[in-house]
Amino acid sequence: MAHPVLDLTGRRNRGEAAFGGLARFAGILVLIVLSLIALVMTTRAWPALTSGNFFTTKRWSVPDEVFGSLAFVFGTIVSATVAICLAVPISIGIALFVTQVSPGWLKKPIVYSVDLLATVPSVVFGFWGISVLAPKIMGFYESVHDLTSGIPGLRSLFGQPNGRSMFTAGIILAIMITPIVSSLSREVISTCPQGDREGALALGATRWEMIRAVVIPHSSGGLVGAVMLGLGRAMGETIAATLVIGSSAQITANLFGAGNSMPAVIASEWGEALGQHRSALTALAVTLFALTIIVNVLATSIVSRSRRRAQGTI
């Protein structure tokens, strides 16, 4: 018997066609679902989006049906930024320690316990936040408030403290995004070519000089991407933020003041919302959706650009 002819065109191969079709369907399905979600949400949000004040006022009044998103957009960005400022140095520190400094036997326990943080449900962090962190941290806030009360810029940044505040939410969010940011940073850093690092050491660089001159420049793009993904997660986090952020629709420079974030408002007000209120909450969801997409797209493009650059230098 002759060997079966291998059909390289794949046209007459049923298995090939079926698999191709399935893969194509799955790929397109994601796009369809995503655009349907966007379409339905935007339609539902339309009355609020076109009310004229959704993007222009910070006032959120259910009795008067005035729904402005500014205070919540502000609270979302501020709490996420606090989270990034706290989480990034620690996460990159963990990543550098694990990849460059730590002895081999210590690596696994550290990596494992940091990654374990990612498996803790967010509501647990939220409850820990309101029952332990928020009451206990008041003393720290008060001393910072007293210390900075004479310094013009910092005075408004660290104003009258509140246990449930944007800063507390930032701390909780920081703990929640540390595993992701540190895992990604670790991966990015470990792609740094061994030859480059050894070359730097051979030239007489100390470990810190090697990290600064070789590791950081090589992985800076990837690190930015990791931070952006952490930012995306911090902005979308709902339950933990709902519990500790203080639920107040205000725009204030005071990081120790109560605020509110978009996902928190949606979660806490949806059940009792009707009509225009419901539409305004959907509009918040659309805004959050757009904001996370922007952050993720930026992150992906930065990462891929840095990857191209890294490949070019090798």
Partner 1 sequence: MLLGGHLTSISSLLERTNPTGVILRSYRRYLSMTTALILGVSTVGCGGGDSTDSNSAATTVGGAATTAAKTAELAAATLNGSGATFPKAFYEEAVAAFKAKNKAVTINYGGGGSGKGRTDLASQVVDWAGSDAIVKEADKTSYKGGAFLYFPTVVAPINVVFNAPGVDKLNLSPTLIAKIFQVEITKWNDPAILAENAGAKLPDSPIVVAHRSDGSGTTENFTKFLDSAVGSKGDGTWKLKSGSTVEWASSTQAAEGNGGLSKFVKDTVGSISYVDFSDAKVAGLKAASIKNQAGKYIAPSLEGASAAADGAEIAADLTYFAGWAKGDAAYPIAAQTWILVYKSQTDKAKGKAIKGFLEYMYGDGQKLAKEIDFAPLSPSLLAKAQAQLAMIEIPA
Q: Which positions touch partner 1 (CB under 8 A)?
A: 59-64, 115, 118-119, 121, 130, 135, 160, 162, 164, 180, 183-184, 186-188, 190-191, 222, 225-226, 229, 232-233, 236-238, 242-243, 246-250, 252, 257-258, 267-275, 277-278, 296, 299-300, 303-304, 307
CB-wise, 187 or 196, nearer to partner 1?
Answer: 187
Q: Between residues 13 and 51, which has the closer beta carbon with respect to partner 1?
A: 51
201 vs 251, beta carbon nearer partner 1: 251
- Which is closer to partner 1, CB of 39 or CB of 203? 39
* Residue 16 Cβ vs partner 1, minimum distance, rounded to whole Å: 24
d(CA 240, CA 264): 9
Nearer to partner 1, 119 or 194 (CB): 119
Hunting for tokens 């995306």 — which residue is that? 232
44-47: list long-range contacts, CB under 8 Å, 24+ apart: 44/278, 44/279, 44/282, 45/279, 45/280, 45/282, 45/283, 45/285, 45/286, 46/279, 47/276, 47/279
Secondary structure in 3-state letters for 242-253: HHHCECCCCCCC
- Grouping H, G, I as helix, E, B as strand and the rest as coil, residue 259 is strand
Which DSSP symbol is given to 271? Answer: G
Helix or strand (DSSP H, E) at 252? none
Shortest distance (Å) from residue 115 CB to partner 1:
6
SS3 309: helix
- Residue number, 15 or 312, with CB nearest to partner 1: 312
CB of 267 to partner 1, least distance (A): 8
State in angstroms the smallest separation of the CB of 74 from partner 1. 13
Number of C-beta neighbours around residue 125 at 10 A = 22
Of 170 and 236, the one with the shorter C-beta distance to partner 1 is 236
Shortest Cβ distance from residue 281 to partner 1 (Å)? 9
How far is 82 from 169, CA to CA, in rounded Å? 8
* Distance between CA atoms of residues 175 and 114, nearest Å: 10
Q: Using an 8 Å Cβ cutoff, are 296 and 55 in contact?
A: no
Q: In the complex, what is the shortest distance from the CB of residue 183 to partner 1, in angstroms, rounded to a whole number?
A: 6
* Smallest distance, partner 1 to C-beta of residue 253, A: 13
> Taking the complex as a whole, how short is the minimal distance between the CB of residue 216 and partner 1, in angstroms?
16
294's tokens: 């922007």
- Widest distance between CA atoms in the chain: 94
Residue among 46 and 207 whose Cβ is closer to partner 1 = 46
State the sign of the Cα–Cα–Cα–Cα dihedral 226, 228, 230, 233: negative
